[in-house]
Amino acid sequence: MLTLIALMAVSLSALGADMQETEMSSNQSCITMSEMNLTLQMRELWAEHVIWTRMFIMSVADNTTDKAAVTERLLKNYDDMADAMKPYYGDENASEFGELIEDHLLIAASLVEAAKAGNSTAAADAEDMWYENADEIAAFQSSINPYWNETALMTMWHDHLKLTKDEAVARLTMDYTGDIAAYDQIAAQANMMADSISEGIRKQFPDMFKM
């Protein structure tokens, strides 16, 4: 766990260094400090999202005793994501977004638990609910920001679900090479989702990112 978090910290630090270097090396302002901070914030939230989802999958698959603690930390992510939306969309919209992310996480947990138990019917039902929830998230996001395209968001969310399921299946079947490969794809895709969210916010509220 510490290794994963350390890797996340190194990745975020490297991103910050790269962005600062880009800004300083140009006579024109390519990116402001507030833009950089937004990008880093969203990447950190999504890194935590996929890291703690992974930790939960590992806890269930390996029958470790840390599942309750890991679940508690995982579910903190939806509150953190909601808080990140408040400066732009207000408490009500942020709360609704957080609730949708909470459902996303809880459904994922039930899907992994059902798969571990060998309950294919429950797993299939959870997967259907998972995709319905993803479409609800995409629809909600596009309703509050015209720069977040619903179709593009649905595609990103569906990719996120598929990759997460691939990761869970690989871990549950002890295909550890496949498990690691799936997580690498998830981490890269999570950065893409984070950057898409950041870009939409910057375009919708340009006056908030001048400095």
User: pLDDT tens across 86-145, in order?
Assistant: 999 999 999 999 999 999 999 999 999 999 999 999 999 999 999 999 999 999 999 999
Model confidence, pTM? 0.85
Whole-angstrom distance, CA of residue 52 vs CA of residue 62: 15
What is the band of 30 on the pLDDT scale with cuts at 50, 70, 90?
A: confident
pLDDT, the chain, mean:
91
What is the band of 10 on the pLDDT scale with cuts at 50, 70, 90?
A: very low
pLDDT in tens, 166-192: 999 999 999 999 999 999 999 999 999
Interacting residues of 37 by C-beta distance below 8 A, sequence separation 6+: none
For the chain, give me the number of helices (H) and strands (E)? 6, 0
Reduced DSSP (H G I as helix, E B as strand, rest coil) percent helix, strand, coil of the chain, to 5:
90, 0, 10
Q: Is the pLDDT of residue 22 over 90?
A: no
